[in-house]
Amino acid sequence: MLKVLKNLKQSWISVIVIIALLCLQAAVDLELPNYTSKIVNVGIQAGGIEDAVPDVINQNDMETVLLLTDEDNKILENYEGPNSDGNYEIKELEDEQREELSNIMIKPIIISSYLQSDEIKNQMLSNVPEEQKAIFENMTMLEILKTMPEEQLNQMLKMPTEKIDQMQDSIKEQAGVASVKIIYQNAGVDTDKIQMDYIMISGLKMLGLAAVSMASGITIMMLSARVGARLARTLRDKVFSKVLSFSTKELREFSTASLITRSTNDVQQVQQLMAMLFRTVVYAPIIGIGGILKVLTESNSSMAWIIGLAVIAVLVVVAVLFAVAMPKFKKLQDLVDKLNKVSREILTGLPVIRAFNTEKKEEKRFDNANIDLMKTNMFVNRAMSVMMPMLMLIMNCVSILIIWVGGHNVDQGVMQVGDMLAFIQYAMQIVMSFLMISMISIMLPRASVSANRIMEVIETEPSIKDKKETKKLDPNKKGLVEFKNVSFRYPDADTEILEDINFTAEPGKTTAIIGSTGSGKSTVVNLIPRFYDVTGGELLVDGVNVKDLSQKELRDIIGFVPQKGILFSGTIESNIKYSDENMSDERMIEAAEIAQATEFIEGKDDKYKSEIAQGGNNVSGGQKQRLSIARAIAKDPEIFVFDDSFSALDFKTDATLREALAKRTKNKTSIIVAQRISTILNADKIIVLDDGKVVGQGTHEELMKDNETYRQIALSQLTEDELNKKEGGE
């Protein structure tokens, strides 16, 4: 998989941008629960008041606070006033200074609020003599406190001080905020406006963060899709380029169906993985680790065990499904290969299937391959469909457990409602991050299998490749083809297919190769353009060993017509001009005339612009062969190689074509593989093959006299009288 990811070099800028945006999105998403907590705790419950430090306090309340603390100077140095309204206003403070001031003021402010209640005043006056009671009733609490001896004042404050010290921090903060709210009311401050301003500002900040997260998410998805598509294109290009460089040996090792699957379905699996990979590799760990740190540092950590329990439950579910589904993921791609192979065989062999009435048999064969793939897919999909409800159940159970435990903590004053809501959000983020990692761990095996299959093709070295230093063709031996003690065996074969092949094909002459089926005729001519490499001896073209030539230079001088005529989708014109799309129309028409193809071409409505279906399925076998021959003639090479390319032509067309071809190829080397004796009667040299060995060379007349193998082949096709007539006629 890592080898495949190395192909992301072309998209490194996009990858860096994606990672940066994922970090930004993760940071934003981790901050949102904190704002939810603040809106509930501060905006709703505390009326928008964040701490126990009043921004405005009237003179009486300030004096009361100062009376109840020994930190008078530290408090007053942070305020300005009193102003004309009799209020003190706080100076600009840093966060640390404000926090320190809050720790100093929280206790005296709570006590001040406690003492100002009428119930406390009445309780205190109940123990005062009647003559003093009348005086104290008309005095404010501050004035009463000022008249008290220090010892009596300390005694009276002892009980509320102890009660405050015993409070939980969260309860103490709530009491301090409530006291500040009373101070604001005494100072004539609009507390409703403070609350609305705080909620509006916090809400707008949350909307801003959500917008940033949304924009980042959209950009990440767009860039990820682009990176994945570019990677897929790169992999397809590399696979296709590598396949084009393969010799017949490699093409046999990888079946056509498998190569198609590897360049389509396998690449698609890797592309789909890329869409999730960045979010999983970068985003999920940040969210998971960040959420845990937020819970431990900024939230109430007493419920952290719930998150641990949820993570363990998620991992157990995923591990079980992973163990069950993993073997099936590996099997899926092989089954896709099998289905493609069966489909291709059936579609290619449809005429034979119909001729033998085996449609039902082939339908059953296809159905078996299809059902195997369907069952495996259904098994995997069922496993995946079970996973999501299980994980959602875990998440919902976690939410219920948090609310249950959190509700008790809120009731006991250990935590606030907003903290509980934030904890739920952090818990969901952490569980979701592990869920994402688990999802990718399930997708990864199938993509990894696909990646290995892709790299298997890309890393396969073709057995036929150019040397670092190649030789140039010898202009003095132009068109000369020499077989010197050539032998050949297929890879992994035990016996030689060809043995000790010796003959020369000269320019200006026609060399024919004939032999029984399986004698090695096609193998011999396939060695000339290096579709295979000889395993023994030497094969020279233009006086140079073909292994010392570049494949492009070698094949540029060869016009090869394969045994099976192959046409490409397009037009008749594009097929004849296949070697050079800028070829003149005159040259194209001349090639078609020599190949005896003009008769059926001119009979079509669009003539040379007529469409050719994929594989040439809309033309007959003879027409396909003639167009293949015209394509080779139009190339105007030094060497023509016809691998039994006249087999689908009638005798008249065959004779006319060879006559026209002989005029065109006067200075060219022609090598013809044929089954028909009539096709090679006029050849300058006939090579007779039998069981991979040359058993005779010479003209038709010479071989009829001296070579029994050739004579048997000739007499199996024509009578002796017919042969004599042809010899005499020629």
Report the distance separating Cα 258 and Cα 646, nearest Å: 33
Report the distance separating Cα 563 and Cα 49, nearest Å: 91
**pLDDT tens digits, 216-229:** 989 988 888 888 88
Per-residue pLDDT averaged across 509-519, rounded? 86
Share of the chain above pLDDT 90, in %: 3
Per-residue confidence (pLDDT) for residue 709, from 0 to 100: 85
205 residue type, one letter:
K
Torsion angles phi and psi, residue 712, rounded to 5? -65, -40
Beta bridge partners of 541: 481, 544
Inter-CA distances, 552 with 43, 148, 549, Å: 78, 112, 8
Which residues lie below 8 Å from residue 358, measured CB to CB, with a gap of 6+? none
**pLDDT confidence of 208, banded at 50, 70, 90?**
very high
**pLDDT confidence of 729, banded at 50, 70, 90?**
very low
Q: At residue 670, does pLDDT exceed 70? A: yes
Per-residue pLDDT averaged across 637-643, rounded? 88
Residue 405 buriedness (CB in 10 A; 0-12 / 13-18 / 19+): middle
Per-residue confidence (pLDDT) for residue 268, from 0 to 100: 85
**pLDDT tens digits, 527-558:** 898 888 888 889 999 888 988 888 888 888 88
Per-residue confidence (pLDDT) for residue 204, from 0 to 100: 93
| CA-based end-to-end distance of the chain | 67
Per-residue confidence (pLDDT) for residue 212, from 0 to 100: 92
Per-residue confidence (pLDDT) for residue 730, from 0 to 100: 45
Domains and CATH numbers, the chain: 55-186 (no CATH), 245-458 (1.20.1560.10), 475-557+638-729 (3.40.50.300), 568-636 (3.40.50.300)
Q: At residue 664, does pLDDT exceed 60? A: yes
**pLDDT tens digits, 434-463:** 777 777 766 777 777 788 888 888 888 888
Q: Are 183 and 61 in contact (CB under 8 A)?
A: yes
Q: Which residue has the higher pLDDT, 152 or 430?
A: 430
**pLDDT tens digits, 320-351:** 877 777 677 667 767 887 888 888 788 778 87
Per-residue pLDDT averaged across 567-583, rounded? 86
Residue 620 tokens, joined = 């007959």
Residue 338 CB: number of other CB atoms within 10 A? 19
**pLDDT tens digits, 393-445:** 888 888 888 888 888 877 776 777 777 888 888 888 888 887 777 777 667 77
Q: At residue 243, does pLDDT exceed 50? A: yes
Q: Are 109 and 65 in contact (CB under 8 A)?
A: yes
| SS3 state of residue 694 | strand
Averaged pLDDT of the chain:
82
Report the distance separating Cα 706 and Cα 696, nearest Å: 8
Per-residue pLDDT averaged across 14-32, rounded? 88
Per-residue confidence (pLDDT) for residue 310, from 0 to 100: 81
Which residues lie below 8 Å from residue 325, measured CB to CB, with a gap of 6+? 379, 380, 383, 384, 442
